[in-house]
Amino acid sequence: MNNGRVNPAMRLEDQGITGLGNVHYNLLVSQLMEKALQSGEGHIGLGGTMLVSTGKFTGRSPKDKHVVRDDVTEDTIWWENNTAMSEEGFANLKADMLEHMKGKEFYVEDLYANADKEHRLNVRMVTEFAWHGIFMRHMLRRPARVELDSFVPGLTVINSPSFKADPERHNCRSETVIALNLKEKLILIGGTEYAGENKKSVFTTLNYLLPEKGVMAMHCSANHAPGDTSETAVFFGLSGTGKTTLSADPNRVLIGDDEHGWDSKGVFNFEGGCYAKTINLSPDAEPEIFATTSMFGTVIENMVYDEDSLKLDFDDDSLTPNMRCAYPLFYIDNASATGVAGHPRNVIMLTCDAFGVLPPIAKLSPAQAMYHFLSGFTSKVAGTERGVTEPQPTFSTCFGAPFMPRRPEVYGNLLMEQIANHHATCWLVNTGWSGGAYGTGSRMPIKATRGLLSAALNGTLKTVAFQEDPYFGFEVPVEVPGIETDLLHPRDTWKDKSAYDEQAKKLVAMFKANFEQYLPYVDNEVKAVSIG
């Protein structure tokens, strides 16, 4: 039985997906919540939130993500970074998953990716869990109800957590599988309930499609000055570096918190919502995000709560440090209504330095920006991926290697062109440790980070003196009004200066070793600013 509003010529049957049980098309959030409760998928929380657990997997499974290798992808995918799946393996996976789905209840949400209509991608989400439908209604952009009557998917994502893959038959690694067939415009996900796989698979697809059109695809957040879309900033960074928190500034308009494109007109959001980490979330430091955790329909993922009062415990990470909330962008009072803005005047690259040796802010030349973008140094924070229990220093090119299907130079060259064409100022901002490495030092005060970012965005840093860092070569402000001077110079925050020097040298050596892979692909200007 089918119910809900859908293009009558584009039901699942028209896509060759037959024999299912009840299929619900484009239900509203309230209807999906009813279904989720009836199926025992979660509970209603304070304010009408949706409280859910993702079971065994509370983070992404990057080693189980595959791209089908065929005549379309053979010469366009960065195979050193993306695990191949054979065409035969995918065909078997598709057949077996569709057979597994027969007789079961499914939910279909027809949605848009990309706020810029010129680059819009129609995405059909087919989910076994009703709450996954809620999640994706938040994450992507919702068509008007009348637009559903003529909706034709350009990408279909099928997520069946109860399906277990067969590594030998499906040419994958384990029972968990995320398989992208870019030729068929079809993504199959099985064996994991973690909702983040849905949005990141769409993001990966866009990262493949948009560069062909000369559009820079970015793992970043973005905001602009009130009433001035020409004063835009983008914030690159992996999960845990502060992208969501720092871009949700009450004094600026939020464009989006995670995924954007940059074309000849400016910046546009891929998404229609936010997926924020809630560990240690504070109503004082992050009031806008905190407020969403008691708003109707917000998906509260893997959080401990009191069963009597339903009060959330933001400090209890016993389920996972990767606890999150997902909500529509319009839940943020100062969010952009359009999701589009002008060219960035400031490009911020966020890093979470577990060594504790990078300054809280440094100015980069365009060549240094290219270098740090390709390097993508940060620390994986606990819980973001399976098996990560404490910060691990890592290099994730383009600040998002798990989601980059093409070689990094494709994105790096696009970024460098955009920076040069639009005269953006670039900054490296460390939200990691100060006064010592992880375990000894302390996390960079968010108040100081916000203060330094404000100084960068409002032009205050144009008036201060800078000096070159002896280890890393970038420019560091000598003094900034309102910021403790010692904090600007990490060595001064360490009690043992020689220990700092040793840590700095260790990180320099890591930068040097990592960047050797890119030397054949970059010009002499970038080589000249290489660290080490």
Does residue 243 have an active-site annotation?
yes
**pLDDT tens track for 181-206:** 999 999 999 999 999 999 999 999 99
Active site residue: 54, 58, 244, 378, which one?
244
Whether 233 shows a pLDDT value over 60: the answer reads yes
Across the range 133-147, mean pLDDT stands at: 97
Give CA separation, 124 vs 39, 107, 181, 345, in Å: 22, 10, 15, 35
How do strand 299-301 and strand 50-52 relate by DSSP bridges? parallel
Whether 365 shows a pLDDT value over 90: the answer reads yes
Contact 43, 51 (CB under 8 A): yes
Question: Of all residues in the chain, what percent carry a pLDDT higher than 70?
Answer: 98
Does residue 292 have an active-site annotation?
no
Whether 59 shows a pLDDT value over 70: the answer reads yes
Q: Is the Cα torsion angle 239, 221, 400, 451 positive or negative in sign?
A: negative
Active site residue: 24, 35, 60, 69, which one?
60
Question: What is the reported pLDDT for 390?
Answer: 58
Q: 248: pLDDT confidence band, cut at 50, 70 and 90?
A: confident
Q: Which amino acid is at 293?
A: T
Question: What is the reported pLDDT for 388?
Answer: 55
Distance CA 276, CA 323 (A): 9
Q: 17: pLDDT confidence band, cut at 50, 70 and 90?
A: very high
Active site residue: 35, 132, 138, 219, which one?
219
**pLDDT tens track for 489-523:** 999 999 999 999 999 999 999 999 999 999 999 99
Does residue 498 have an active-site annotation?
no
Active site residue: 200, 252, 386, 407, which one?
200
Mean pLDDT of the chain: 95
Least confident window among 145-149, 263-267, 355-359, 385-389: 385-389
Active site residue: 64, 96, 257, 258, which one?
258
What radius of gyration, in Å, describes the C-alpha atoms of the chain? 23
Active site residue: 243, 277, 406, 407, which one?
243
Across the range 418-435, mean pLDDT stands at: 95
Active site residue: 35, 132, 324, 380, which one?
324
Active site residue: 239, 292, 298, 434, which one?
239
Across the range 230-242, mean pLDDT stands at: 90
Contact 337, 269 (CB under 8 A): no
**pLDDT tens track for 294-326:** 999 999 999 999 999 999 999 999 999 999 999
**pLDDT tens track for 329-348:** 999 999 999 999 999 999 99
Does residue 239 have an active-site annotation?
yes
C-beta atoms surrounding 471 within 10 Å = 20
Whether 416 shows a pLDDT value over 80: the answer reads yes
List 224's β-bridge partners, or say none. Answer: 232, 253
Does residue 49 have an active-site annotation?
no
Does residue 316 have an active-site annotation?
no
Q: 384: pLDDT confidence band, cut at 50, 70 and 90?
A: low
Distance CA 90, CA 505 (A): 46
> What's the whole-model pTM score?
0.92
Q: What is the 3-state secondary structure (H, E, C) of 427-470?
A: EEEECCEECCCCCCCEECCHHHHHHHHHHHHCCHHHHCCEEECC
Q: Is the Cα torsion angle 206, 248, 352, 454 positive or negative in sign?
A: positive
